Amino acid sequence: MASKKEELNFILIPFGAPGHILPMIDMAKMLARQGVMVTVITTAMNAIRFGAVIDRAAASGLSIRLLQVQFPAEEAGLPKGCESFDDLPSYSLFMNFFSAIEMLQKPIEKIVADLSPSPSCIICDKHFPWAVELGRKYRIPWVSFDGMNCFTQVCAHNLSLTKVHETTPEGEPFVVPNLPDKFVFNKSQLPGFLNPGQSSDLGVIRERIKAGETEAYGVVVNSFEELEGSYAEDFRKLKGGKVWFVGPLSLSNENNLDKAQRGNSAVTAEEEQRLMEWLDSWQSETVVYACLGSLGRFVRSEFMELALGLEESNHPFILVVKGKNKEDIEAWISEDGFEERIKGRGLLIRGWAPQVLILSHPSIGAFLTHCGWNSTLEGISAGLPMITRPLFAEQFFNEKLVVQVLGTGVSAGAKFGRKIGEEERPEMGVSRLEVQQAICKVMDKDNVDANERRKKAKELGEMARKAVEEGGSSYLNVSLLIQEVMRLSRSKKQPENGI
């Protein structure tokens, strides 16, 4: 006879962007390892990119499956096959993408209606505000997945209440009120949902998302309690206690193949081997890994400053080259002779990089990051100090967490954030000198501050690993979430919210 756990079926619906899909796939494995069935619903193109890890998990005996829904790209005015946010040829199609997300409601409802066993809980990205209707229809809890950390959430909450940023002139600094430490920002560094100067086109979407979040039964967070301390507790209070800290989710990838193919099933064993051989050729903690995310878009001059800053730091490095201006960037690489000049000391990875695999290698000594939360948490989990170079969204909040709260990072000096559609403004860039100096501050093994940073980073990495191990705080949070869903399933009573 099946156990009560085995009778549960968790439905996971990730938003179409690497930074949203990856942690949801990782979460699916963490849930399945605790004995429940997990059904992930995504589109065909995303299934190709992310399916290999799920297939291996299922082959290992976990009760986990991947179901596909047709993405209405052409109906929404998108190019055929454009099923992920990073595939958009232009951010002018932002609203079209969200129109397609709205159109997914009916076909996903049909998939859920035909599921066996019947669904017990929906864990859905907050960008699917209609998920609350799905929960109500099947009288099951909808649990929201946000993708941001607690520090960011608390900062955003305090700003929303006080509106101090709205009365501050453009470019002028202000302090986030009612926090134990002093955190200074300017208006351009705030995410769009807090920045009244940003495009109003998304206002309706944001309001729908906000309304949906208030009706969610609870929230799962890709973080761990020990990392964020009082900020985690404050966020739990804001959400009425229904918060489960289940991260770092990337640590669900335990073998090199899963790490290599996390986010791109096209990474081959041969490519992995070549990369590992290059990393193996360097001594411990000597290589700088630089990657500015899947959504960053740079003009030639910005990329040039980053690349030359890495070169002039005189440390071996890996630099990931991707984005929508690759042709112009490749032209500079060729004209400047950059790749030839760095041969033997620098490695360029074009397109998707197996980041978790790279960060876990002992030769990596620092991570130059755009401070997206997934990347930041992956760096923390690897026990690495960071060079921070935020671009947009909540990334400047994440930078403050790393540099000021955790004390494991050095800012490369980014002073201004970017708006959607303005990702290519070179005056918002960081100079090669700033990049070089930040790298040297982190990598100087004779420097007391650098050594203290590295020590703290290693301690956090160990805490992260313990959090997801059996008996750790995040492992227990996953167990508590499962127990809560079991309780609701047994009682057949309607939860207060979310259904």
What CA–CA distance (Å, rounded) separates 115 from 126?
Answer: 22
125 given a catalytic annotation: yes
CA distances from 133 to 112, 136, 140 (A): 12, 5, 10
Identify any residues that bridge with 71 across adjacent strands, giving them in sequence order.
none
Task: Please compute Rg for the chain using Cα positions.
Answer: 22
Tokens coding 347? 């490695």
Q: Do the bridges between strand 142-145 and strand 243-245 make them parallel or antiparallel, or are there none, so unpaired?
A: unpaired
- The secondary structure element, H or E, covering residue 136 is helix 131-138
Q: 8 in helix, strand or coil?
A: coil
Q: 226, 247 in Cβ contact below 8 A? A: no
Count of other CB atoms within 10 angstroms of residue 74:
12
What CA–CA distance (Å, rounded) separates 94 from 199?
Answer: 11
Tokens coding 249? 């989710």
Residues 6 or more apart from 37 whose CB is under 8 A from it? Answer: 6, 8, 9, 10, 63, 64, 65, 117
Tokens coding 95? 């609203």
- The secondary structure element, H or E, covering residue 244 is strand 243-245
Residue in 223, 260, 288 with CA at minimum distance from that of residue 23: 223
* HSE-CB for 62 with a 13 A CA cutoff: 22
Q: At what angle do helices 94-103 and 105-113 cross, to 10 degrees?
A: 30
For the chain, report the end-to-end CA distance as a whole number of angstroms: 29
- The secondary structure element, H or E, covering residue 49 is helix 44-59
Residues 6 or more apart from 375 whose CB is under 8 A from it? Answer: 291, 293, 355, 367, 369
Tokens coding 455? 């020590």
Give the residue carrying structure tokens 């949801």. Answer: 24
Choose, from 55, 86, 114, 125, the residue flagged as catalytic: 125
What CA–CA distance (Å, rounded) separates 13 from 137?
Answer: 16
Choose, from 20, 127, 361, 370, the residue flagged as catalytic: 20
Give the residue carrying structure tokens 């020990």. Answer: 226
Identify any residues that bridge with 37 across adjacent strands, giving them in sequence order.
9
20 given a catalytic annotation: yes
Catalytic residue set: 20, 125
